[in-house]
């Protein structure tokens, strides 16, 4: 009999790879942060003994959800400027508040709030795009969640950086400091085509290749972004990025609500990944990403929440349902963007987009034990014909009961094991008073 770290017994296990597989009454064997194997529960006795054993009789067990795009610290701005279009939301409210308040303490406290919410709702890995990455990294290490931290680049100056060169200096220092961290990896995060000029983008392209780290960028988020670019440069933003050599498998294009057939073909041919943020796009009336057309063209489409300031939550289960329903509506096809498809978008597709699919995104032997369990015993989930459909169309984040990252139990029976929720809420309320007074709410 082999002694291992953990055994997780589930009523249903959906490994995501292979596509659509549902295993009943199986167990996941974990040792040294990795999945050793997945076997029928009745075969565990006599083969394995574990230091920790978790029985989840009425649960669906699946890979941890991957939030492929967010601005974690902006959780402190949740609800501060609702029901406004993107341009006025940013220019009249968000950017002025960031200019006054964003600093190391803001980022640390905002990230603590965001990470707590993400763990409680089933996210085990997220991609961040914000300032002061070192303070985000402190929270990530404390919480035990996994993250790919974006090294933000912009022509705009702020409290974090006074010029473009400083963005690069601080970003490259962060890369060097965290290149061997087990939970933190990095990528470049130029904000958007309209905030980053050609010279920094050229430099990013070279460094991305040299350092073998990807790039994430807001692209084609609104009609006005595209039309303004055409008026100013004679090119659509995607054409400009292609001319700069940035359309490669290292690029994660966030939002992409405005695409024509030729652009979809180019994205597919160049292996560009798309990060779809349906709820943020709907709330800001930014447009609709043509998910079904992209998937049909072989483009990898992942899922993100965007920041809580524009969503207003970091709930990937909710995002999955929104993606499925909006995808069907946009395609005018009830078979489009199925429950299994959006589950893949929130797991293995996210891992592929972030360049992490050899480590996470599915429950397979040798991969990291990033795992969640969802209670499927509720009245609203009965009768149980297909747990994948019930996960997407009837479940909510409060039914996520347990979560592991690298085999570490970060949430046990809805209780966080690494973070002090009372302290986080107290800090959040203090920020609320400061921000409320400034924005005249």
Give residue-wise pLDDT tens across range 30-77: 999 999 999 999 999 999 999 999 999 999 999 999 999 999 999 999
Tokens (6 digits) for 372: 């969640």
What is the spatial distance between Cα 62 and Cα 264, in angstroms, rounded to a whole number? 31
DSSP assignment letter at 61: E
Indicate the domain borders of the chain. 2-63+371-405, 65-353
In this model, does residue 208 exceed pLDDT 80?
A: yes
Q: Are 59 and 374 in contact (CB under 8 A)?
A: yes
The pLDDT score that the predictor gives to residue 440 is 55
Terminal-residue alpha carbon distance, the chain: 63
Residue 66 pairs with which residues in a beta bridge? 125
Q: Are 377 and 58 in contact (CB under 8 A)?
A: yes
CA nearest to 404, candidates 19, 3, 11, 30: 30
Please, which pLDDT band fits residue 438 given cuts at 50, 70 and 90? confident
In this model, does residue 287 exceed pLDDT 60?
A: yes
Please, which pLDDT band fits residue 441 given cuts at 50, 70 and 90? very low
Per cent of the chain over pLDDT 90 is 94
Q: Is 384 exposed, middle or buried (0-12, 13-18, 19+ CB in 10 A)?
A: middle
Place of tokens 């090119």: 235
The size of the chain, in residues, is: 441
Tally DSSP H helices, then E strands, for the chain: 16, 16
Give residue-wise pLDDT tens across range 412-436: 999 999 999 999 999 999 999 989 8
The pLDDT score that the predictor gives to residue 87 is 82
Q: Is 393 exposed, middle or buried (0-12, 13-18, 19+ CB in 10 A)?
A: middle
> What homologous superfamily is domain 65-353 in, according to CATH?
Metal-dependent hydrolases (3.20.20.140)
CA nearest to 436, candidates 79, 132, 9: 79
- Cβ contacts of residue 24 below 8 Å, gap of 6+? 11, 12
Secondary structure (H, E, C), 228-255: HHHHHHCCCHHHHHHHCCCCCCCEEEEE
How many CB atoms lie under 10 A from the CB of residue 194?
15
pTM metric for this prediction: 0.98
Q: Is 155 exposed, middle or buried (0-12, 13-18, 19+ CB in 10 A)?
A: middle
Give residue-wise pLDDT tens across range 319-377: 999 999 999 999 999 999 999 999 999 999 999 999 999 999 999 999 999 999 999 99
In this model, does residue 129 exceed pLDDT 60?
A: yes
How many CB atoms lie under 10 A from the CB of residue 441?
10
CA nearest to 117, candidates 313, 409, 312, 370: 313
Tokens (6 digits) for 297: 């063209």
In this model, does residue 196 exceed pLDDT 80?
A: yes
In this model, does residue 297 exceed pLDDT 50?
A: yes
Taking all residues of the chain, what is their mean pLDDT, rounded to a whole number? 96
Give residue-wise pLDDT tens across range 11-20: 999 999 999 9
Backbone angles phi, psi at 26, to 5 degrees: -120, 165
Give residue-wise pLDDT tens across range 150-172: 999 999 999 999 999 999 999 99
Average pLDDT over residues 134-159: 97
CATH of span 2-63+371-405:
2.30.40.10
């Amino acid at each position: 009999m082999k002694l291992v770290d953990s055994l997780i017994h589930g009523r249903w296990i959906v490994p995501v790879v292979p596509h659509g597989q549902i295993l009943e009454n199986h167990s996941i064997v974990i040792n040294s942060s990795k999945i050793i194997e997945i076997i029928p529960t009745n075969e565990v006795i006599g083969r394995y003994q574990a230091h920790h054993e978790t029985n989840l009789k009425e649960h669906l067990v699946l890979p941890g959800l991957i939030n492929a795009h967010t601005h974690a610290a902006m959780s402190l701005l949740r609800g501060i400027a609702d029901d406004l279009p993107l341009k006025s939301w940013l220019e009249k409210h968000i950017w002025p508040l960031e200019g006054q308040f964003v600093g190391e303490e803001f980022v640390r406290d905002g990230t603590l709030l965001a990470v707590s919410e993400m763990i409680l709702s089933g996210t085990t890995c997220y991609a961040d795009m914000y300032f002061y990455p070192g303070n985000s990294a402190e929270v990530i290490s404390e919480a035990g969640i996994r993250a790919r931290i974006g090294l933000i680049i912009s022509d705009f100056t702020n409290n974090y950086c006074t010029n473009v060169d400083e963005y690069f200096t601080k970003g490259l220092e962060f890369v060097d400091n965290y290149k061997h961290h087990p939970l933190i990896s990095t990528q470049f995060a130029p904000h958007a085509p309209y905030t980053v000029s050609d010279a920094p983008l050229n430099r990013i392209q070279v460094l991305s290749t040299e350092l073998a780290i990807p790039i994430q960028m807001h692209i084609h988020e609104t009609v006005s972004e595209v039309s303004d670019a055409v008026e100013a440069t004679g090119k659509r933003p995607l054409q400009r990025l292609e001319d700069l050599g940035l359309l490669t498998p290292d690029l994660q294009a966030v939002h992409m609500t405005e695409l024509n057939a030729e652009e979809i073909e180019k994205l597919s041919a160049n292996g560009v990944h798309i990060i779809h943020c349906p709820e943020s796009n709907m709330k800001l009336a930014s447009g609709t990403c043509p998910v079904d057309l992209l998937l049909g063209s072989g483009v990898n489409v992942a899922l993100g929440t965007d920041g809580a300031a524009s969503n207003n939550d970091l709930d990937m289960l909710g995002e999955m349902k929104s993606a499925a329903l909006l995808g069907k509506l946009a395609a005018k096809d009830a078979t489009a963007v199925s429950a299994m498809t959006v589950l893949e978008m929130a797991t293995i597709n996210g891992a592929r987009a972030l360049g992490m699919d050899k480590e996470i995104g599915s429950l397979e032997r040798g991969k990291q034990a990033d795992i969640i369990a969802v209670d499927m015993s509720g009245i609203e989930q009965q009768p149980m014909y297909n747990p994948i459909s019930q996960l997407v169309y009837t479940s909510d984040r409060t039914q996520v009961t347990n979560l592991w990252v690298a085999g570490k139990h970060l949430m046990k029976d809805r209780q966080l094991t690494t973070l002090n929720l009372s302290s986080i809420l107290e800090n959040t309320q203090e920020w609320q008073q400061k921000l409320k007074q400034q924005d005249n709410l």
